[in-house]
Chain A
């Protein structure tokens, strides 16, 4: 971990130097704005809708009959963009993102297969902060790099559970998940990255199509016991949106 922080510090310093150098060498006008920007409008707002695929990552060790599987969901939200340079912009917003997963257990005992499945439907409120690096003339190609923070807003459980007298049949349930403050870490943060393209329809309105990844760096389980199996989400979004230049 210490090694990671050391490398990170060096890279951040290098990036800061590079950025400072680039600003110094960029011709600017009297008001300090870069003159090579061809964008007439710097601020924009937009709305987005996405399909999500969330992949949970945790260590099941010897529990080979258990598996945590990806699950699809929906995401929607709105963003605000600022484009100080033609090649560099920034974007933030507020999104409701489904980070769902499926827990399955299957085991064969005496040639009889037992199993259960439980779907965890999680809704997160995420605020991404991304650098928007873009090239292209009419159709622009984007690379998004940044980080996000958020909150595990609510969760629902759908599936089947075994009960005392019935182990080969499940009892169906569909209920809100009750958060446990000892176990559940509801603060969510991680890295954002993605690719996209934007197609302008007019001076004011454009269409965005993007592939984004939300790579979680916060363990959704707090460390409340000696032996700990961290649990992380990685969420892929295939997003379509409309951007309105202000």
Chain B
């Protein structure tokens, strides 16, 4: 046999082997999926598949979550498939199925709304984070009570020029913004106390001609910051007054809101721009496909006007989201101290408009946005009416909406905040008995004591 024959044979056989081996790449199992954000569900099973898949690929906390999501699939897929074969599915069974699916997930923003059409419709809402530790009192009632107790402290209050919620006969009117100057340790010394119950301050500033905002929020903002145009601290606010020796920012019961507020209203309190932590987003199909951690800075638009003086963030378990980012920021200041309880643990910011945001990151909020909006607008009418409205809109369609974090945020030391919250420097637990029976707000008193005594 000639050399050329050897060569030819070897080339042919080797090439065939390589060609065969080259087919040994695994096949994808994700190519069967449509975008869960825009998928039309026409049965219980399809709704389940879509929700499961959307969370599987778009939930941003899989790296830290302990829930076995594949196990949840194996457990609940048959349940939803059975729903499709049943003549009647009760509201309780539908709710229980979604409760079970979402139980124990880490995301404390997470909320799901699910609807199944029918004669009366089925409706389920899940919010797994709310099963955590919480106060025995509704946070709105607490906020009102805390303000009542503060108002009663005539011995402490030096000046209240701008009380948006002064009418004691009404319940706390949102936004519940309140500013007061409190007496300090020595004569002439004052403590600036500022609280707001929602991060919508810049929104109010931009809509300054709205009479409601003008009366309820802009005056306290202007008193504290010296301006009500959401541009940050000026030399003309009480916060910058030389007589003010300390500042208390009361974020208790504040569930968060727009991060637009962070720079002008919290960043302004610092002497420099602030590294609050690091954020990342999903970056692919895999549960562990993430973008790199990106530094998350909050600007200081006051141009560092505020003189360094003790700043206390007063927080509790009901301080969530933006209030937690604010707490992290203040905790990181050399003159910042956090007093109260650990915060709620919903620090992962989100872009709630799934029509725009989901496909930017292929994660976060997804589903039928109108369902979520209608739920917000008409829930007060009660479930029967809500079901009637949904049934009139969604014929043979099983819409859903998942409200979940777009960003995973950790603190400056890469500690997970989600589900954990921000730990206070000085822990003072909510004391219902003292607040409601003795007229004493122990958390507030500790903050005053800290500023007066420096410890």
Name B294's contact: one of A4, A8, A163 (CB within 8 Å). Answer: A163
- Residues on B with C-beta less than 8 A from A175 are 292
- The complex places the Cα of A11 from the Cα of B263 at a distance, in Å, of 68
- The complex places the Cα of A89 from the Cα of B349 at a distance, in Å, of 60
- The complex places the Cα of A14 from the Cα of B262 at a distance, in Å, of 72
Is A90 at the interface (CB under 8 A from chain B)?
A: no
Is A157 at the interface (CB under 8 A from chain B)?
A: yes
Interface contact B294-A88, CB-CB below 8 Å: no
Q: How far is the CB of B263 from chain A (nearest CB, A)?
A: 8
Interface contact A226-B56, CB-CB below 8 Å: yes
Interface contact A227-B7, CB-CB below 8 Å: no
Q: How far is the CB of A180 from chain B (nearest CB, A)?
A: 6
- The complex places the Cα of A173 from the Cα of B362 at a distance, in Å, of 21
- Residues on B with C-beta less than 8 A from A171 are 294-295
Is A36 at the interface (CB under 8 A from chain B)?
A: yes
Is B356 at the interface (CB under 8 A from chain A)?
A: yes
Residue of B nearest to A165 (CB): B259
Q: Number of contact residues on A: which range applies?
A: 35 or more
Q: How far is the CB of A167 from chain B (nearest CB, A)?
A: 7
Interface contact B260-A61, CB-CB below 8 Å: no
Q: Is the interface of A mostly helix, strand, loop or mixed?
A: mixed
Is B351 at the interface (CB under 8 A from chain A)?
A: yes
Q: How far is the CB of A103 from chain B (nearest CB, A)?
A: 7
Name A182's contact: one of B27, B288, B296 (CB within 8 Å). Answer: B288
Interface contact B292-A229, CB-CB below 8 Å: no
Interface residues of B in 179-195 (CB under 8 A from A): none
Is B53 at the interface (CB under 8 A from chain A)?
A: yes
Interface contact A224-B287, CB-CB below 8 Å: yes
- The complex places the Cα of A87 from the Cα of B7 at a distance, in Å, of 7
| Interface-side segment among B28-36, B138-146, B217-225 | B28-36
- The complex places the Cα of A21 from the Cα of B9 at a distance, in Å, of 11
- The complex places the Cα of A143 from the Cα of B12 at a distance, in Å, of 11
Name B407's contact: one of A85, A105, A147, A164 (CB within 8 Å). Answer: A164
Residue of B24, B63, B409 with most chain A CB atoms under a 10 A cut-off: B24
Produce 1/0 per residue, B30-45, CB < 8 A to A. Answer: 1111110000000000
Name A22's contact: one of B6, B17, B407 (CB within 8 Å). Answer: B6
Residue of B nearest to A23 (CB): B6
| Interface-side segment among A45-53, A62-70, A198-206, A238-246 | A62-70
Produce 1/0 per residue, A15-44, CB < 8 A to B. Answer: 100110110011000000000100000000
| Interface-side segment among A72-80, A91-99, A214-222 | A214-222
Name A183's contact: one of B30, B288, B359 (CB within 8 Å). Answer: B288
Is A139 at the interface (CB under 8 A from chain B)?
A: no
Interface contact A162-B294, CB-CB below 8 Å: yes
Interface residues of A in 141-166 (CB under 8 A from B): 143, 145, 147, 157, 159, 161-165
- Residues on A with C-beta less than 8 A from B351 are 167
Is B452 at the interface (CB under 8 A from chain A)?
A: no
- Residues on B with C-beta less than 8 A from A110 are 356
Is A82 at the interface (CB under 8 A from chain B)?
A: no
Interface contact A221-B286, CB-CB below 8 Å: yes
Is A118 at the interface (CB under 8 A from chain B)?
A: yes
Q: How far is the CB of A67 from chain B (nearest CB, A)?
A: 12
- The complex places the Cα of A191 from the Cα of B22 at a distance, in Å, of 7
Name B360's contact: one of A167, A221, A230 (CB within 8 Å). Answer: A167
Interface contact A65-B359, CB-CB below 8 Å: yes
Residue of A nearest to B53 (CB): A227
Name B285's contact: one of A107, A145, A167, A229 (CB within 8 Å). Answer: A229
Residue of B nearest to A15 (CB): B13
Interface contact A164-B259, CB-CB below 8 Å: yes
Interface residues of B in 337-360 (CB under 8 A from A): 349, 351, 356-357, 359-360
Interface contact B7-A230, CB-CB below 8 Å: no
- Residues on B with C-beta less than 8 A from A109 are 356, 360
Interface contact B9-A18, CB-CB below 8 Å: yes
Is B283 at the interface (CB under 8 A from chain A)?
A: yes
A105-B25 contact, Cβ under 8 Å, with A19-B10, A62-B33: no
A161-B294 contact, Cβ under 8 Å, with A228-B30, A229-B284: yes
Is A140 at the interface (CB under 8 A from chain B)?
A: no
18 contacts between A and B (CB under 8 A): A11-B20, A22-B5, A22-B9, A26-B1, A36-B3, A59-B28, A59-B31, A63-B285, A87-B3, A109-B356, A133-B7, A161-B280, A161-B281, A164-B349, A165-B259, A191-B22, A219-B25, A227-B29
| 12 further interface pairs, Cβ-Cβ under 8 Å (given A18-B10, A163-B297, A230-B27) | A22-B6, A61-B33, A87-B3, A109-B356, A133-B10, A161-B279, A173-B293, A221-B286, A225-B70, A227-B30, A227-B53, A229-B30
| Interfacial residues, chain A to chain B (CB-CB below 8 A) | 1, 4, 7-8, 11-12, 14-15, 18-19, 21-22, 25-26, 36, 57-63, 65-66, 85-88, 103, 105, 107, 109-110, 114, 116, 118, 131, 133, 135, 143, 145, 147, 157, 159, 161-165, 167, 171, 173, 175, 177, 180, 182-183, 191, 193, 215, 217, 219, 221, 224-230, 232
